[in-house]
Amino acid sequence: MGNACVKTRILHLPLALRRDASSSLQEQIASEFRRLIEAGILPPGESLVSIREFSETYGVSRNTVVLAYQRLADEGYIETRPGTLARVARHIPVTHRRRPAPSAVPGARQVHAELIRPVRKSGLFPLPRAETSCTAAVDFQVGVTAPEMLSRKLLSRYTDALARGAERLCAYQSAEGMPQLRSAIAQYVAINKGIQAGERQIVIVNGAQEGLSLLAHLFLHEHADVWMEHPGYHGTYNIFSAYGARIHLQDVDGEGMILDGMPAAGKGIAHVTPAHQYPLGVVMTPARRAALVAWAQASGSLIIENDYDGDFCYEYERGEAQTALASLAPGNVVHLGSFSKALGPGFRLGYMICPPALVDEVSAAKSLLNTGSSWFEQTIVAEMMNTRAFGAHLRRMRSFYMARRDALLKVLAGFGGRIEGAQGAMHLCWTLPPCAPAAVELRDRLMRAGIRVYTMDEVAIHRCPERSARSLFLGYARVSLGDIAHLHAALRRIFGTPASTQEMPASTTDSALR
């Protein structure tokens, strides 16, 4: 046992050994191991430290450790074999399992004052669970990406870059983010979004949600005024609600967020998703953008432009590219960008483009929160952007998603109703035709056919029951063309076979699109 070289997870055990105790050190060691094993802290099969390492770590003789281990083996707690580390027994006798902790012994006196309460509580609308219990064979989940687009080959190209900069892992980096990544983002948004911003104005964050949290920390307090789109995103509402803000839900029409009722005087914050309104998919028109910017400049308010999926625009409505709000009013707009859709939600990386007057405060708030985002992800994205691999990756993803979008559009259009959000992103909003069942009923019937679609209650905060009752949301990033054909067949069974419904194209395959 003493010369074993098998690895163990144990580095330092929380053992209470006292040399002035009435019991011997051998008895104390055995007793402490019994406690850890019975409590499940050391699970069956767990390797213990070697006799030599235990002796040196705790300053006890090797004989003492040998005798303690032998006692535990005799009692059935551990198993020993020559040449290997002792292990917790795989089958501990029933009489040895889970003894009550001393604090749980009946009659023991316990005094517990009421725990301090949080000063803020989460919002009223629960966020959708990241891991669902959905058992459907086909899941049109909103907000996810296609894992096959983030290949091992793509990521393996950047392992050398990680190795070259390994020294950065041993030191704290600037809270604002890697200069190489911030510079690359500045060039990218100038070319692709028309936003002229210096590297200093860009702060790297752990996704757009952290950017929202930083802004809420800096600007919101009880009764602060916030205007946001209705329906809108759960996470945004919850952050604003947690800070006690007065949240004004502004309805959305075909031109974007309606500005009626927003006062000309009095400062506040307006949160919008103008490139692809979440969840309806409406693109804010140039006239509505100009009006929103004029309101912010006249009132001294701040606009949060959440461009959560702006990298995925397949075609422009009305034949023209839409101007980013941050390019129209750089002094009144914080632009939030994210790599969650380009690389996957598990890639917790995004950025804020701040007005020059706010850069120092935002940077200070970021340093208080976590002193900077993960260097690994920043290095990979910086390398991708600086070698133009990021643009090539986005083009592949757009082609991949457009094929699915086109197939899904063809299926839904055949059954009637109204489809919104097709010009970008990775999900559609389908307002059901009059002949269709209610949204909840249709969702449930499709679920029985092994297909999962989503109602407005499941993807957004809203107070519009009439619209919610006729709206379904379908994400198409993680479904195949075969899955869409399966949806087509299920809808035909539910609706009957509409004359306008065309057959799915049989010649198009997933493999041809990659």
- Same domain, residue pair 296 and 379: yes
- Same domain, residue pair 199 and 56: no
The reply to whether 125 falls in a domain is: no
**Residue 366, domain CATH:** 3.40.640.10
The reply to whether 398 falls in a domain is: yes
Domain-ending residue, one of 357, 372, 387: 387
- Same domain, residue pair 285 and 352: yes
The reply to whether 397 falls in a domain is: yes
Which strands sit side by side in the sheet containing 256-257, from one edge to the other?
202-205, 350-353, 333-338, 302-307, 269-272, 225-230, 246-253, 256-257
The reply to whether 423 falls in a domain is: yes
- Same domain, residue pair 381 and 406: no
**Residue 57, domain CATH:** 1.10.10.10
Q: Cβ(146)–Cβ(397) under 8 Å?
A: yes
- Same domain, residue pair 446 and 330: no
- Same domain, residue pair 421 and 328: no
| Total of domains in the chain | 3
- Same domain, residue pair 356 and 411: no
Q: Cβ(473)–Cβ(430) under 8 Å?
A: yes
The reply to whether 49 falls in a domain is: yes
The reply to whether 477 falls in a domain is: yes
Q: Which domain holds residue 194?
A: 172-387
The reply to whether 489 falls in a domain is: yes
Q: Residue 175's closest CA among 376, 381, 369, 386?
A: 369
Give the pLDDT of the chain (514 residues) as one tens digit per residue: 444 444 567 777 878 888 888 999 999 999 999 989 988 889 898 999 899 999 988 889 999 999 999 999 999 999 998 888 999 998 887 665 555 455 444 455 667 788 887 666 655 555 555 444 467 899 999 988 888 887 666 667 666 666 666 676 677 778 999 999 999 999 999 988 999 999 999 999 999 999 999 999 999 988 899 999 999 998 899 999 989 899 999 999 999 999 999 998 879 999 999 999 999 999 999 999 999 999 999 999 999 999 988 888 887 655 456 789 999 999 999 999 999 888 888 888 999 999 999 999 999 999 998 888 888 889 888 988 988 888 888 899 999 999 999 999 999 999 999 999 998 889 999 999 999 999 999 999 999 999 999 999 999 999 888 889 999 999 999 999 999 999 999 999 999 875 444 455 443 444 434 4
- Same domain, residue pair 348 and 207: yes
Q: Residue 278's closest CA among 299, 302, 307?
A: 307
Domain-ending residue, one of 318, 353, 387: 387
